[in-house]
Amino acid sequence: MVVEITNDVQSLLLIMLAVMVAKMVGDFFSASLYSSLLRLKCIPYLDVEPFVHHRRERLNLELFSARDVMEPHVRVLHLRENIASLAWLLASTSHGGFPVVGRPKPDHAQVFQGTIKRLELCMLLENEHIFEPETSNESFSFSHPLTYEKITVEKLPKPSRLAVLLNRYTTDPRYQQLFINLEPYINKSAMSVQAHFSLQRTYIIFRTLGLRHLTVVDLQNRVVGVITRKDLMPLPLEERLRLQLSPQSPDAGE
């Protein structure tokens, strides 16, 4: 801009040098306005590289695993979910998404099938015609599922109406006998990592793909935890890794 105003091309190198030096000096003495606004608004922004220190030494995240930072107490949903239980879960939690588990075969254990967002669950509960009564087996009819456009929204159109519906579903006894089939609506392409997966690579995957939730599974593909963006922020990450590095008590192995 200065060159265009003055039409002095000969001073271009000096102008660029002055701007670069001014920026370096400003960054050295204070954080950028952009970073300050992110912290002020509590936006969970992840840096390109995680900088975690312990006793003034930078930790190598390759030496840690996903289980070290995951939240082990996970609220999971089933492919065949009760309406009253689902409404109570949405009313009592603020989670943005949930892992969904199911049995590949009747005699198998519940394994990870995919994830579903909170907004999608809310939109499903506003359509009572897809509710089905309890049956003796786990089979469901797939007739007339809702379209992708109908359940994928950025925000709830009528939050007050949803609050009324959740209250009715949790208090009316007849909804304890009704179920919903979540299989047509879950994200079966959702990422998951095993519990022993490298924490450094977990961070890279999470940030590169722009994830909000990352499910952690064991060797049998059973859900054992979940990692959210806030778990990978510098301070929470440092706190959890400090617990892993703290010396165990003398009677810990007894």
Euclidean distance between CA atoms 210 and 205, whole angstroms: 8
Euclidean distance between CA atoms 216 and 116, whole angstroms: 15
Euclidean distance between CA atoms 160 and 194, whole angstroms: 39
- pTM for this one? 0.77
The correct answer on CATH 3.10.580.10 for the domain covering 66-245 is yes
Do the beta carbons of residue 139 and residue 96 sit within 8 Å?
A: no
Candidates 113, 73, 69, 72; CA nearest to 203 is 69
- From edge to edge, which strands make up the β-sheet containing 192-194? 192-194, 213-217, 223-228
The residues, ordered by sequence, that sit 6+ positions from 239 with a Cβ below 8 Å of its Cβ are: none
pLDDT string in tens for the chain (254-residue length): 655 666 666 777 777 888 888 888 887 777 676 666 666 666 677 878 888 888 888 888 999 999 999 999 999 999 999 999 999 999 999 899 999 999 988 888 899 999 999 999 999 999 888 998 876 555 555 557 888 888 888 888 888 889 999 999 999 999 999 999 999 999 999 999 999 999 999 999 999 998 989 999 999 999 999 999 888 988 888 888 888 887 644 444 44
Greatest Cα pair distance in the chain: 85
Neighbours of 214 (CB within 10 A): 24
Neighbours of 197 (CB within 10 A): 17
